[in-house]
Structure 1
Amino acid sequence: MTATEQTEARPRGTRLPRRARRNQLLGAAQEVFVAQGYHAAAMDDIADRAGVSKPVLYQHFPGKLELYLALLDQHCEALVQAVRQALASTTDNKQRIAATMDAYFSFVEHEGGAFRLVFESDLTNEPSVRERVDQVSLDCAKLVSPLIAEDTDLPEEQSMLLAVSLCGLAQVTARHWLSAGDSIPRDVAKNLTAALAWRGIAGFPMQH
């Protein structure tokens, strides 16, 4: 059930436990931010979408930026966790790359447009937002880098550079795939991207 459906099913003013109310507000804010962007979104719009008064919204979030950052933190952590789980799902590095690609495609497809907050934010001139956007890419690359080092015996700095490249390939390709209207089935798109990445990494033989 979406935040909008939850709101329609619950009369305005119904009291919720604090955590449930916070999650409801975050869901409503995500819909508004994704649809309108940060600058065009208003706290009034978010309160209306959540079916609460603006004072209730301010009880949980001091302002629009704090609300946006809370959403950003939530979805950055979701992506990092998805990549971590993908890498832990197998001990075969070829399959790890495929699973990592799938994690990015899944994030882009299934997070209610949240990837736009992470990768297409209209607020990247705000240092606190830029820091988070940069950090999530770095965190994902840090998870991948040791496996590249293990598979290629490249030095740490070079392995990290390749990891950043691989994660960048994953997110840019997944976003393009979605914007193209799913004309290529997701599994086909993911497998094509994984094959390109694996053939690239496999081109770095073990150094002895």
Structure 2
Amino acid sequence: MTSGAGTDVDGRVPADPTAGGSQTRATRMPRDQRRASLLDAANDVFTTRGYHAAAMDDIAEAAGVSKPVLYQHFPSKLDLYLALLDASCDSLVDIVSDALAATDHNADRVTATMSAFYEFVSSASGEFRFVFESDLTGDAAVQQRLWQVNSDIADLVAAVIVEDTALPPEQSKLLAISLVGIAQVSARYWVSSGMSIPIEEATQLVSRLAWRGIRGFPLTAYDPSRL
């Protein structure tokens, strides 16, 4: 099998046979660093071409390695895609978690959560495409991850609702998943329609809609400062 240009089958740059003196083999890239490099290249290829049109040859070429090196880290194209999907899902959960923790003012929490989704879909990294626009949603492993990320985010929101309203967990989770749906669907529409509305204006519009609904559930101990 032919290796990538300028590399041997291990993805290393071979020593120059024309150089004088003793030859020193180039240091192998640390595994974690190599994996991160491969994921970056795969992210570019998948977001540009989609899962089905992308080939492992394309990803190896974009990463500047041979296919054997790529397969050492990821046994299949699906494994590589799922690794990117997992990273994207983790990133979204972290963003929402940080948004909820940034304030204890509930109206601001709603705005921060909506902003988290809008910032995620507008990121130049294209991570959102793995979570919201995957062309592999028929795969069971992808479906499970997409369900899980929505559930994980809803759990974060539900925890705040339970604490503030004393609603049962089941009711709080239903309200939370509804808020997540508003954020996700509206953000997807906003980015797919060309982001003609400025992000701050779009976030405020959707936040007002969500807040006017959730504020109807009063705090367990009324505290005007948290409204």
Provide, for residues 47-72 of structure 1, a one-character-per-residue CA deviation record: whole Å limited to 9, x for no partner: 11111111111111111011011101
Equivalence for 2:94: 81
Structure 2 CA distance for partners of 1:70 and 1:111, relative to 1, 3 Å: farther
* 2:180 corresponds to 1:171: no
Instruction: Supply the distance in 2 between the matched residues of 1:65 and 1:143 (Cα, whole angstroms).
Output: 29
Aligned residue identity for 1:93: N
Instruction: Supply the distance in 2 between the matched residues of 1:200 and 1:70 (Cα, whole angstroms).
Output: 36
* 2:101 corresponds to 1:109: no
Provide, for residues 11-56 of structure 1, a one-character-per-residue CA deviation record: whole Å limited to 9, x for no partner: 7645422111111110111111111111111100111111111111
| Bigger mean CA deviation after superposition, 87-96 or 15-24 | 15-24
Figure out how many residues of one structure are paired with residues of the other and give that number.
198
1:137 is aligned, of 131, 147, 150, to 150
How far 1:111 moved relative to its partner?
Answer: 5.2
Provide, for residues 92-145 of structure 1, a one-character-per-residue CA deviation record: whole Å limited to 9, x for no partner: 111111111111111111152221111221112211111100000000000000
Quick check: which has more Rg, 1 or 2?
2
Instruction: Supply the distance in 1 between the matched residues of 2:113 and 2:219 (Cα, whole angstroms).
Output: 22
Structure 2 CA distance for partners of 1:17 and 1:130, relative to 1, 3 Å: same
Give TM-score, length-normalised by structure 2: 0.82
Equivalence for 1:95: 108
Instruction: Supply the distance in 1 between the matched residues of 2:142 and 2:168 (Cα, whole angstroms).
Output: 31
Instruction: Supply the distance in 1 between the matched residues of 2:82 and 2:124 (Cα, whole angstroms).
Output: 16
User: Where do residues 23-172 of structure 1 align in structure 2 (5 Å cutoff)?
Assistant: 23-110=36-123, 112-172=125-185
Higher helix residue share? 1
How far 1:205 moved relative to its partner?
Answer: 3.3
How far 1:80 moved relative to its partner?
Answer: 0.5
Instruction: Supply the distance in 2 between the matched residues of 1:29 and 1:61 (Cα, whole angstroms).
Output: 11
How far 1:153 moved relative to its partner?
Answer: 3.1
* 2:203 corresponds to 1:194: no
Give the secondary-structure state (helix, strand or coil) at the position aligned to 1:125.
Answer: coil
Instruction: In structure 2, list runs of 5 or more residues that go unmatched.
Output: 1-5, 14-27, 222-227
Instruction: In structure 1, list runs of 5 or more residues that go unmatched.
Output: 1-10
How far 1:151 moved relative to its partner?
Answer: 3.2
Give the secondary-structure state (helix, strand or coil) at the position aligned to 2:65.
Answer: coil
Give TM-score, length-normalised by structure 1: 0.89
Question: In percent, how many aligned pairs have the same letter?
Answer: 58
